[in-house]
A and B are shown apart, each in its own frame.
Chain A
Amino acid sequence: MNAIILSAVWGVIMMFSSILFKNKGAFKYIAAIGLIVLTVANIANTYGCDFFNINTHEMLRYTRFGLFFNTIAFLCTLIYVLLSGKEIEKHGNYVAEYYALIFFVLCGVSILTSFNNLLMLFLGIEILSIPLYILTGSDKRNLKGNEAALKYFLMGSFSTGLMLMGIALIYGGTGSFQIDVVRSATLFGTFSGISFLEVAGLLFMLVAMAFKVSAAPFHFWTPDVYDGAPTVFTSFMATVVKAAAFIAFIKLFEVRIADTSAVINWGMLLSLLIIATLLIGNITAVFQQSVKRMLAYSSIAQAGFMLFAVFSLNDFAKEGLILYAVAYSLATIGSFAILAKMKDITFEGFNGLAKSHPVLAATNTIFLLSLAGIPLTAGFFAKYYMLASVVKTGHYLWLVILGVLFAAVSVYYYFRVIQAMYFKEGDAQAEDVTPGFKIGLIIVAALIILVGIYPQVVLNWLYF
């Protein structure tokens, strides 16, 4: 409960802090303090110290897995705020409000990692989404940003509608909103045909969740929104938010798939979703001219890999999803932070960056290698766990083989940036960066390599 309440409270504090502080630079530090407080409170909660003892009637249930993900989300946001704080300050006069919205998103994240009731899932998704609609359109004078925000809002509402429909049908099928209550024989007798309501509901949920994690063919909003939103907010949307949506996805389907597997072949359905996502994400990313748009499509491709966890649903999948969240968030936050400093965000704009800004180029290389899943970076073990989780099930090996072939395709577009930075001639223009920013990037890169050599530094926390 700590994380949910404190994140909401700190969001309010952030809002009112703009009355007290006139200096824009101060908000970054208030937000950082808030995130540290949240992290500490959440860790306390993990080890059994809940400050707010509220009976939620099992609508929320705290697990080690969910709470640990909260910690990761808060720490990633902290890194994000410290790295990109300056960029946030550039977007208009409402800096404190932007931070407040980020805290509200984190509140949604905390609900999503602990929901045990479909209504809570709905609340979590909405609390998570609404601030994002605003952040997307935060650059008010930018037409593309406005279009993106409206598009995101309309599509998002539509998917929420589907989700509500799904929840209603599941309620009809099982007689409960609790996610771990399976079809009760007492309510419906022995009539097994009723499970079709539950299956239909789950299909609606699948569509809604696939929309939230931008899985194809429900991905159409992603490139436009990621491209149209200010780079700094895209970075947040593509990392913490997306990973949280995956946690909700896996929590929801963990129980339900086993319950309905007699009626519907989830394996086939999910593998089609995965293939479509990998195919569209990777192939479209190859043809992009702008690095920002490439990263948007690549985030679809990465979602395809994370879907492996939803597909296999074993212990490897859960550990892997945590690791994936860490690896992918760190690398993407770093990469977007550098992108935000670039004057020209096409591939040509990166030509010769290694000469003019060696630190930016070197750290960006590590981020991109991690996204591509090269050993010695965190991204390798993230992909490794995803592949291992499917191989462990013993079926659908062709899916794994397709997955690695697409991973090889992904090398193509990530390496285009590396080629531009190191091997092509040009004078890449980047804004002046402070030494603090460089040190931040180096720390993130070092973390990625540390996790890449010894992933246990992250995973051990799940058990101890």
Chain B
Amino acid sequence: MIPSLLILIPVIAGLASLFIQNEKAAKGWALVASLATLCLAVAGACSHRVTELQADASWLPALGSRFSLSMDGMAKMLVLLNAVALPLAIGATYKNSYEKSGSFYGLLLLMQAGMMGVFLASDALLFYFFWELALIPAYFLSSKWGGEKRIQATFKFFVYTFAGSLLMLVGILYLYFKTPEHSFAIQAFYNLHLSDSEQFFAFWLFFIAFAIKIPIFPFHTWQPDAYEQSPTVVTMLLSGVMVKMGIYAVIRWLLPVFPAAVARYDHLVILLSVIGILYASLIAIRQDDMKRLIAYSSIAHLGLMAAALFAKQQVGIQGVMIQMFNHGVNVIGLWIVADAIEKQTGTRKFSQLGGLAQKAPGLAILFVIMAFANVALPLTNAFIGEFMMFNGLFRHSIWMAAIACISIILAAVYTLGMVQKVFYGNTAPATDHSVDSSLNIKLMLAILVIIIIALGVYPQPMLQLTNDTVNAVLAKIHSI
């Protein structure tokens, strides 16, 4: 029941919003709808009754595909993230005005619905459907309301991910014809007994799709351009929630279905991830654009998650779980600040910014806490996640862990460098006349700071929430 509503509410609200002409009404409508989804997501996360957490209906009997949704620990957590992200994003940009705002907010809601579907689907064909459907609104949002080079940047993003997901479709079909009863149900895929060579082949079809989404080096090139050119609200959802689809899919579909292939290729994937971590961190240091810096920092963080996943240690996977939520929250906070600064000063270039702390002390305090979370300082939420992930990676390969650990220092270099260049030093012409940010931005950042510190001090509820998924996945991995 709950899973269907989690998809239906944003779909219906989004379609209705497409026909709203008035800007205020569109904003209010989107905010109300997203808050309703949030309430429902919280209710779902707290619920333990199986009947409430599942939905199953006949869809395509001839193909062996059902409209079946289910919510386990990992799904609960990501649904929560998805539900939190949209009201935060809308709230923080409430004062911005968008041309044709009815369509803008409608597409945002549809994008949320698509991502909900990805996290909830327990049928491969349905999963593929939602995987693509989340992409279409994102494409239209970024191309219509984005920056100067939006058309090329978002098109690259679209074609990249579309090519990847088509390969996944071939993989899904391949597995489908291997199941004895010709079914797309996730359990049927889990029960498959594939030979090693079959796994080695099909693994790549899935992996490339997910690696593009995450993104893992060398499939990451779409990402900085897309993040930079998208309107910031969309970037928040892209980097806060959508890239988690890739990590989620690896845990849900890749690790349990192809244990032998994962055992064979884990070193390669970890190596690529670690290269990506260092490469992205180094490039982030050299960036002059705030959005691009956050984008590269995001590649580094996601790379670490991918590496920790393929290390296949309980503590590491547990760390990835909690870090998916934490990174989503933190990066949204960073984008909110970036957007606030750009709206005030008209620039995102560090070379034109400086001394903002004198003008906007409130924003500066909140931003520094965000920055600490990005560096994964103790007491912030990211510390727990990164510590567990490094722990897991260390148990798998000391050398890889050691090299990846360099990224902690690099993260401090670029993040604190950003704080310094934007908020301290002498005021630049662009920041001379700035004032402190408006109340709604501070309020949203304050909520994020509370989440950051609360989860940093007491992460236990989050860890407990995803415990069942971690154990189930590990059992599948070690069953070979």
Contacts and interface: CB of A to CB of B under 8 A. Distances in A.
Interface of A: 369, 374-376, 384, 387-388, 391-392, 394, 397, 400-401, 404-405, 407-408, 411-412, 415, 419, 422-424, 454-456, 459
Contacts of B128: 375
A456 B174 contact: no
B113 to A, nearest CB: 12
A400 B60 CA distance: 23
B132 A374 contact: yes
Interface residues of B, number: 29
B12 interface: no
B208 to A, nearest CB: 11
15 contacts: A374-B132, A376-B132, A376-B133, A387-B173, A388-B173, A391-B170, A391-B174, A401-B170, A404-B167, A404-B169, A405-B166, A412-B159, A422-B140, A422-B144, A454-B59
Contacts of B155: 412, 415, 419
A440 to B, nearest CB: 21
Contact of B166 (A388, A407, A423): A407
Contacts of A415: 155, 158
Nearest to A407: B166
A308 to B, nearest CB: 12
A376 B128 CA distance: 11
B143 interface: yes
A456 B60 contact: yes
B472 to A, nearest CB: 28
A375 B158 contact: no
Given A404-B169, A415-B155, 15 more contacts: A374-B132, A375-B129, A376-B129, A391-B170, A400-B173, A401-B167, A404-B167, A408-B162, A408-B163, A411-B158, A419-B151, A423-B144, A454-B59, A454-B60, A455-B60
Contacts, number: 69
Given A404-B166, A419-B151, A394 B177 contact: yes
Interface in B197-238: 201, 205
Contact of B162 (A388, A394, A401, A411): A411
Contact of B143 (A388, A397, A401, A423): A423
A176 to B, nearest CB: 36
Nearest to A362: B18
A288 B280 CA distance: 37
Nearest to B142: A423
B136 A374 contact: yes
Contact of A408 (B140, B159, B176, B205): B159
Contacts of A384: 169
Interface in B137-191: 140, 143-144, 150-151, 155, 158-159, 162-163, 166-167, 169-170, 173-174, 176-177
Interface in B7-64: 59-62
A424 B151 contact: yes
Contacts of B133: 375-376
A424 B152 CA distance: 12
A423 B176 CA distance: 39
Nearest to A394: B177
Interface string B101-136: 000000000000000000000000000110011001
A415 B163 CA distance: 14
